[in-house]
Structures are given as C-alpha cells and as structure tokens.
Structure 1
Amino acid sequence: MRPNYVLGGRYRITKSLGEGGMANVYLAHDLILDRDVSVKLLRLDLRDDPHTIKRFQREGLAATELVHPNIVSVYDVGEENGMQYMVMEYVKGMDLKAYIKKNFPIPYQEVINIMEQVLSAVSVAHAHNIIHRDLKPQNILIDEKGVAKITDFGIAVAMSENALTQTNTVLGSVHYLSPEQARGGMATKKSDIYSLGIILYELLTGTVPFKGETAISIAIKHFQSEIPSVREFDPRIPQALENVVLKATSKKPSDRYETVTDMATDLETSLSPRRASEAKFVPMPDDDGETKVLDKSDLTSEAAHQAPDTPKVAVPKEKPKKRRRRRRWLYTLLGLAVILIAGIGLAFWMGRPQTVTVPDVSGLTVNEAQQKLADNNLNAGAIKRQPSADMKKNLVIKTSPTANQSAKKDANIKLYVSTGPRMVKIGNYIGQSYTRASATLKAKGVTVRRQNESSNEVPVGSVMQQSVENGQRINPKETTVTLTVSAGQRQLQLADLTGKTKSQIQQYATRESINVSFEYKYDKHPKNTAIDQSPGAGSTIKEGSTVNVTLSRGKKPVSDSESKVEDFNVDVKIPFEANDAGSNSSNKNSSASTAGVNTVQIYVRDHDHDYSTVYKQLTIAQDTQVSIPFAVASGKSGGYKIIRDGKVILSDNNVTKNSH
C-alpha cells in the first residue's frame, strides 16, 4: 500500500507500521474526523480465501463491541478492490515486548499495574464470550502515558487457522500457548489465563519460561515441563506473587483461576505483608479414579502372590482306562480357579475407597455447612471468601467438589463463602471524556446514564458532573451512575467569507464546526461566489451557530423562461441520536461519530445543486432545526436528503414552494 493512497475515500495512508502473519498495518489519517488511525489490511496471499475473509469481517465487527480504555478500539471494517481492511485506534508508543526489553528490571508494583490493566481488558472480552486465543506481549501496546491496550481481538480466531503455515507467527505465539492448545484442543477462557500467566512470568524475569529451536519443541515443553520458578531467578520476588504465576500456568485448566477477575483479585494483594508467609502453590494431584483392567499375566502373578502355598497337582498321564479320574482332577482344578478369582475380586471390592455424595450446603452459614458435611461423613476444608451478588454475607455460595458429586469418605470439601455484593469504588471522572469514563465504569459492572448539557467552558464530550461522589462505594446491581456531559459551544471570530467559493466556505464551516445557510441572487460576480454574509466578518459567534451567506447565481439570463426561478426556504428538524460508544453504527462503512455528537450531511437538488455533492455538513449534539434554501424553476420541484452517521433519516424528492 503506497503512501497518500486514500482507502474507502476517507483514510489517507501515511506509512507502514509493520507486517504480521495475517495482516499488514499502516498509519493513516481519517480525513473526516481529522485524526490518526491505524489500518490493518489482510495479506495478499489470504485475500482469495473466502473463509478467512469471512472470519476477518465477522471477528472485526465483533471487536467493535469491546469498549474499554485498555482495548484498542475498532472504528470501521470495510472492503475496497478486494482488499479487506480494519480501521483501529492509533496507539503511539511501543508493544509490551519492546517495553520489557527497554525497561527491565521493572518494579514489582509497576508489573502489577500493567497486569491489572491487561486483566481488566480481558475480563470485559470474556464477559462478551470473546476469547483472545493469542495473548502475548506483541499484542499489548503501551502508550506514551503508560496505559496498556490489547489489540488483535478481532482476528485472533482467523490467525489460529493459518498459524501452522506461518512459521514466524507460530514462533511468536507458541511461547504463550496453553497446554491444551499445544495438544490441538479448543481454546477456552482458561487458555487466555495461562497466556496471561506467561506474560506475568516474562514481566518478572525478562524472558519466557520455555525456549527451543522449533515451535514443536517449545509446545511440547508447555504440556510436559514445569514452569521454572521466578524466585530462583529473583529471590526478592514474594512467594505470593510467584503463586499467581504458578496457579495461572497450571497444566490442568481446573487448577487455574476460575476467572480473570479471580486472578486480578489475587494479584492485587500479592505484595501485601499479610501474605509474606504464604506457602508455595502446588496443584491438586491427579486422582481420576479410573478402573484398571488386569490381563491374564497380571491375574496369574496376583494369584501366585495371594496363594504361594497352593499345592501343585500332578495330572497323571493320559491312559484310556483312567479318563474318569482325569476328568475328576480337571473339575477340581477348575473349581479352585473359580474360588481363587472370586477371592481376588472380593479383595478388590473390599479394598476400594468408599464414596459419598456431597450435600448441597449453599445458603447455609459456615457452622451449619460444617455440621451437614459431617453428617454425610465429609470434612469442611479450606474456606475461600469472595463477593456474590446473589448470596448474603457469610453464607456459603458453593463447594468444591460441587453438590451432588461423589467424593471419598472423610474427604475435605472446600467452601466458598460470600462477602456480600461486590462493592465498586467510584473515581473522579470530571474532566475525562465520556467514552473513557463510561468504559471504565462499565468494565466494573456499573450501569451508566448519560445526560447532555451545554457549556461554554467544558470541551464537547467531557464529563462536567457525576451523580456519585469520588471515593464512594456502591453496589453496581442497585445504583446507576449519571454523568453530565458537555455539549460544547466554543466561541470563534468569523472570517470574511465574501469573494470565496461555495466549496471554500463549506471547508471553513466544517473546520470551525459552524453551520452555513446559502441564499442565491443574480449578480455580476461569478456563479457560487459569496457576495454577502450575516453576521459580518469579524463577528464573534458560538460553535454550532448558523451563518447566512449569499452566493451569486451569475448574471441574470435574458430569456424570461430561464429567469422564472422561485426562491424559498424549507425548515427541517433533524433528530439527535444518543450514541454512547461514539461509533456503534450498524453500517460498517458509515462515518464514525465522536462521543456525544452526530455527523450530518445535507444533500439538495434544485436549480443550483444536485445530489452529487454535499450541500452542508454539520455536527449536532441535540435535536436541531435547519432552514434549507431552494431555488426551483417554475413548474419543477426540488428535493433533499439528510444523512446522519451514514444513514438516510429524512428525504423529500418533491419539494415545491407550496408543499411546505
């Protein structure tokens, strides 16, 4: 893709940012919203694969659902001349791999801060049932302010299908591959947790735990070799912090954290002095209780062991006259064998571990649960306290093993006890953009309500007030946070527009965020040249104000039929559509709005205009009344259509002076 190429009529390519196993990434400039973006183009050798294209489009659109300050936003997905592309937020900085190399050793608290940002982002993705599948430092960007942002949620699935043929991609990803993925199994949310554990290992040690000359050799180590100890690399690392690595990277998914949120909670207190004497994490030993089948050789050796003194019976040589005696001895031997086998089976049956069914103790207090377990020949084991929206404080949520499962008699049953609803601490969001503030709150499970309010001081889209004070803790299931957001209105000094063309005036209006209403009259000046304006040049107006400009229609024609053009105005009310995410339009090729405003284009068809060019473009933050001037020849009609964020919302193709 060459520089200055305009993709989709909107994104001007600036330079290449890098090449990957599936796509190439470019820096581009959004000509409509005047901002830098990154554009990801599907590689040329994959553009003829319809399955890959379908994955690219579907997963890219799914990624637009993930609105979070630590996830790279996806603005647009489209196609041009067979090129599949994805437009994303441009993050100026470096990836985590380069950050580790540049800043290692990294202070422990900074390591935790980075991981908490990453875990928060992955938690939101998992809440949407989106599994990343390819978490690695190369897919985590660190901007100039130290904020971590995860990318490539959109094409993680598609990449997994082509990974075996992309050697470089495999080598870059296999260091963070979970054991179940290395065996060819399906990736789950716990596979992401394993990758996060490897990333934490690399942040603490500056290197990956397993290395090898080939991707296969590294993959084998993931499901055969134990993760090296980070404390052997750096003895100053607290045991509690190493335990987070060990639990996240357990070989069996069942030994890992249940959720990313659980991992974040454990990581948050890993430097606490209260956990200084914590024991090293050890996964639960395998005990699958499978029935083992003995073959004949096993049975023979076992029988010999159980009855070493069994007398050997000599079978007489076959003689025709003694067949009855031989048959008697044969029946005796068979009888002994049956008795012996029955004895061995009885021994096995008597020696098997006795099992009981785990009772349901949810909703009971700890003491009540302990008593009920004891009544069922079970012991109460470790107690883990965790938040619960459904269970009151100090009541049992669940057990491990769960209710109605089988367990050995006198086994220890782990109790999960509620600490009550998860309370969320509200921060100070005043001055932040609504998009960032609402994403932060929604990531915590808080319901957010937006309320617009005009302001001459606060920038458009910034939070002016919040209904819950900074530092207050709330139950997100019961409390809604209302954010009051500025609708803007800055002031500017109006330029002298006379003598300028209509196109120049429209560009000026777009740049300064003002609205222009055009009128026409016959004049000696060239057609579509401004001959008057109101307010006049130098006037101070507010952003969003309307300026009336009179354009020359050119010299008046001599023919009477050509001069019978009626001028009139049509008033139209354009409805505002609240759009929290700023770019959640279902039309993938629509112009993305900035947070809290709609982008509107008006097209006019009359004596002086046609639908081929935009008559007026404006941004609105509330329902807005506009007056559209028409010049319609006698006996003819005009028309208009109004597009909001890429969709036609109003139109009329039979506009006359008396029709409105």
Structure 2
Amino acid sequence: METGYVLNGRYKIVNVLGEGGMANVYVAYDLILKRSVAVKLLRLDMRDDPTAVRRFQGEAMSLTELTDPHIVMIYDIGEEDGNQYLVMEYVKGMDLKQYIKQEYPFSLTRVLEIMQQILQAVGDAHQHGIIHRDLKPQNILIDQEGNVKITDFGIALAVSSSTLTKTNTVMGSVHYISPEQARGSIVTKQADIYSLGIILFEMLTGHVPYRGENAVSIIMKHYKEAMSSVRQEEPNVPQALENVVFHATAKDLRDRYTTVEQMAGDLRTCLSPGRANESKWLPSFENDDETKVLLPPSDSELSDKDQSLADEGFDQDQISKKTKKKWSKKKRWLFVLSFLLVLLVGTGLSYAMIPKDTSVPQLKGMTTSEATESLKDANLKLGKVTKKYNNTYYFGQVIRTRPKAKTEIKEGTLVDVEISKGPKKEKFGDYTGQKYSQVKKELKKRGVTVQSEKVFSQKIPKGEIKSQSISAKKKVVMGETAVTFQVSQGAKSFELRDLLNYTLKSAQDYADEKGLTLNVTRENSDKYDEGIVMQQEPAAGTVLNQGDTISVTISDGAKEESSAESSSSSSSSSSLADSTSKFAVSVKLPFEETNQGKSNKVQIYISDKSHQIKNIYQTLDITGDREVQIPFELEDGKKGAYKIVRDGQVIEEKDDVTQE
C-alpha cells in the first residue's frame, strides 16, 4: 500500500512499519481523531486463503476482548475491496529484542519490572481463555516511557477451540517454543509460561539458551537438553531468580508453573532477603522421553552355543578352536559386508557434502542480527552489508537482499543485504512571502502534511505566506513532517461607523481598534459642543481596510466675540484685530524603526487662542522623517505651546511659542 493512500476514507498511510508472513503493518494518521495509529493489513496474496483470513480475523476478535494496559489496544476492524485490516494503538519505541541488545545488561529490578508487566498482560489473556502461542521479545514492545505492550496475537488460540497443533506444523518461533508444541501435543497456558521463562533467561544473560545450525536442531534441544544455568554466566543473579527460570521452563508439565500468577508471585519475592540462601530448584518428575543408553554385554557372558559345548565336556581350548573354525568361515562374509557398508557410508558422505538447494528467506524489515539468524536457519551466510538512506524502512532495517527473497541457491552461499540509514533529513526551507497554493502543492508531493491559518495583513498581499511553524534551517524528514502556514487574507475590510457626536477619545479608540490612522482638525461651531466630532471623511458606511486613514473635525465650541464700549465700537474692533497674530511653526517629526519595521503613530497637541494643550490637535502615521507646519493664533503678549508624542512617548515639547 502506497504512502498517502487513505484507507476507508479515514486512515492515511504514512510509512511501513514491517512486513510479515501473513500481514504488513503501517503507520497511519487517523484523519478524524487526529492521532497516529498502526494499521495491520492482510497481504494481498493471502486474502483468498480462508485459513489466513480466519486467523487474521481471529486475532481481531482476540484483541477486542483484552483490556489490560500492557496489551496493544485495537481501535477498528474492517474490510475494503476485499482487504482485511486492523487499526491498532501505535506504540512509538522498540521491541524487547532491540531493547535487550541496546540496554543489556540492565538491573535486576528493571528485569523484574518488565517481566511483571508481561505476566500481567499474559494473565489477562489467559483469564479470557486466550493462549498467545508466539510469545517472544519481537512481539513485546517497549514504549518511550519504558512500559510494556504485547502485540501480535496472530496465532493465538481460544482455549475452547482445538489446541492441538497441525501435523508437521510448528507454530511460534523455535527459540521460544515449548517442548509440547515441538512434539505437536496439546497446547495449554503452560506453553506461554515456558516461552516467558526463555524470555526471562534472555533478559538475564543477553542471549537465548538454545542455539543451533537450523530450526530442527534448536527444537530438539528444547525437547532433550536441560536448561543452562543463568548463574554460571551471571553470578550476581540470586539462586531464587534462577529458580524461577528453571521452574518456568521445566520439560514436564507437572513440574512447570500452572499459572502466570504463580510465576508472578515467585518473581515478586525472589530478591527478598528471606530467600537469599535458597537451594537450587530441581524437577520432581523424570522426562519420559529421555534418551536411553544401552550398555554392552559383559565379557564373562557366553553365547548359548558356547555354553552348550561346555556342558558336553569340551574344555576352553577346544571351545575356542571350534568357535574359531566357525568364525573363519564367516570372516569372508563379514569382510564383504563391511566393505559394502563402508562403500555405502562413503557414498552417503560424499552425497551429503554436496551443497543442497535452499531459498533466500524474506529479510525485509529485519535488523542485521535478525537477518543473520534467519540466514543461519536457511543454511546461508551473511555477505556484504551496505547502507543507504530510505524513506520506507527505519534505521537498521533490511531494505533488500541480493539475491532476492525466494531465489533458489546453494546452501552456504553468501547473501548481501542493504540496510536502511533511515530517511534522509534536509533543511525545511523558508517559504514566507511565497504563494501558499504553490508551496502546498510542492510540499505535498514530498510527503509533508500542510495546514493553513488565515490572518489579516495590511502589508502582505492576499494568498501569500506570512509565517511558518517550522524554522527554515531545521532539518526534517519531509515525509514525516507537518507544517502550519499563516496565510494572509489581505487587509481586513469593514464599513466605517458614523462617528458624529463621538468625543475625540472615542473616535481615537475606534480608529485603534480597526487599525485606522486618525487625522484631527478643529473648528468653531455653534451647533456642536466643544470636543465633539462634527464632521468625518469618508462618510459613514464607506468600506475601508486596515491601514486606511480617516479625518474628523472636532468642535471648539462657539466663537467668542470681544465686547466694545458703545462710544468707540469701530475703533475698538480695529484695535482688537490688530492685537491678534496668525503664524505657523515648522516642526520635524523623526521616524524611529521598530523590530517589525512598522510606521510610527504621532500625535500633536497645541495651545493657542483656539486650542487647549490637553486635547489632540492632529494624529499622523509616518513611515519616515517628516516635517509639518503647526498653525498658531495668538493675541499680542500671549505665548503658545505644543507637544509631540510618538508611539506613546513625548519626543518634543515647547511652551514659549511666539511669532518670530
């Protein structure tokens, strides 16, 4: 199944986790619940095999009954276009085989912690009448918090079902298989307990107890050989803990633990001081299938014919001569028979020395050590190992073999393997200022999950990327990356409110809220009270964008007229006009750059005949140094004042303005 395919309209395939004999496992993303999951898909060449389908569905039914936190949860079961699939909890971490290889040796406390979690999970399965039958470190996952998750109930059996293995078929992995499974006998819960004992041995020593050239030799060792001593390799292991291994791996079922609860209880106390001087555990029952050794007859024993000759009165020399005479006739026949036997044995040995044909096993997804073991089982050898970046297989997994899997070759042949260095990482790149639609199309082709967030901007054109959630210099695996871009929608549009009868402060607050620049002028008015907006430009209802400028005229109230004495009204009026002067002062407004490079907001306050210093005279939005003319109207002998505020800070202030 290709990366990017959406299974059942919900599960987007992200990557391959592994390929097995019956099913392939993928990492997928649940588009509805927004989480990573593991999808197990029955192989295409198996979907028409009723036995494989039944076993696959059996795993699904087994898992749905189990609720222990140390068993991988199943979320969904389905079928699409004839393809059977399971959706399961995705456990990010490694399997116990990798964990042992990476962490060994680890503390006895950690060994017991892992085993207790495994026993708890297997106990839950047994309580539901389910025997796993394939317990091995590869089926025990360790998540990133160090917790156990058991998976792969693909060959599990319900106790109510037939528990007899198929004739000539050995289910489970040979390194962990119980003797009764090897014989094809009835499989009980004690078969799982035997496998758990082997797993405990491996955690304590770093290797399995029985190793051989092929699967048959390993199975025979499970059946015949006594369990190796843990303490001979690791003297720091207490006898009580080694006894748990012996007890769990007893050949005779009568000696073995009958339940995982018994084994768990024994493990809980194996490090306690009270068991420090415990003696070595020994089985109570002999193995009925033990190999018998026949002793040769004693030299003093005579044949029946020799005894009869002695009874007839012949002495020992006569008996020897008669026996010698009889054997001399037989020697020629014995020589011929011996020659023929040697000839046959020699021919057989010569034939045995001719390399037999075997096939290259499927190694994809295995680690180098696992591949080496599989090749040994097929009487093949590991050849040249090359490494290559690969987006499908994780670091250390086999990508391909040369020759290919299932190729018929001679035993002892070297098989080259190509190992994954993992996906190649590259700098993500800077996409700000580019068209979102084009960037999205480009990145999706490279496997990136792209999402967008709409934002308004008065400076960035609509459709362009304002920012990105991943640093441009960060190295990532494109196919495993999700990014969120802030995409500009342009300046935000809205209808201008009617500001008439607003106070200057209310008008300024509205402008700030909408991102507008407010220009203020003042005039006398008999209609509007002082400090009230009497005019606005543009008119109410005009569609504006953030960053636009509006102008308002603030009322200074009714114009005051000076009273003149009745005897000299015309003279006084002329004198009053001469006592008032109008002029303008040039003021430079300096621009200050900010981190974002935005404009400066400048407010001008003035005090003269018509204005008070407490009120804003004018608001400007500047993007560079600017010079403005401030008008004043002063009576003779009076002084004006002004104050310049930039972005909330007073930058210039003068209180003795006069006409020069």
What is the TM-score of this pair, normalised by structure 1?
Answer: 0.42
Higher relative contact order (CA 8 A, sep 6+): 1
Whose Rg is larger?
2
What is the TM-score of this pair, normalised by structure 2?
Answer: 0.42
